[in-house]
Amino acid sequence: MTTVSVILPTYNEKDNITPLVEAVLRSSQHPTSVWVVDDDSPDGTWQRVAEMAAHDPRVHLIHRTDAKGLTSAIARGIRDSDGDIVVWMDCDFSMPPERIPALVNAIVRESADIAVGSRYVAGGADVGHSLMAQAFSRTINLAAGLLFGFGVHDYTSGFIAARRVVFERIELTGDYGEYCIDLLVRSQRQGWRVVEVPYLCVERQSGQSKTGVNAMDYIRRGRHYVTTIGRLALHHRP
Q: What is the pLDDT of residue 72?
A: 97
Q: What is the pLDDT of residue 18?
A: 98
Q: What is the pLDDT of residue 9?
A: 98
H helices present in the chain, as ranges = 14-27, 45-55, 70-80, 100-108, 131-148, 178-190, 215-234
Q: What is the pLDDT of residue 203?
A: 80
Q: Is the pTM of this model over 0.75?
A: yes
Q: What is the pLDDT of residue 77?
A: 99
Low-confidence ranges of the chain (pLDDT < 70): 204-215, 236-238
Q: What is the pLDDT of residue 131?
A: 87
Q: What is the DSSP letter of 97?
A: G
CA 120 to chain centre: 16
Q: What is the DSSP letter of 165?
A: G
Architecture of domain 4-234: Alpha-Beta Complex (3.90)
Q: What is the pLDDT of residue 137?
A: 93
Ranges of each domain in the chain: 4-234
Q: Is the dihedral of CA 36, 63, 16, 127 positive or negative?
A: negative
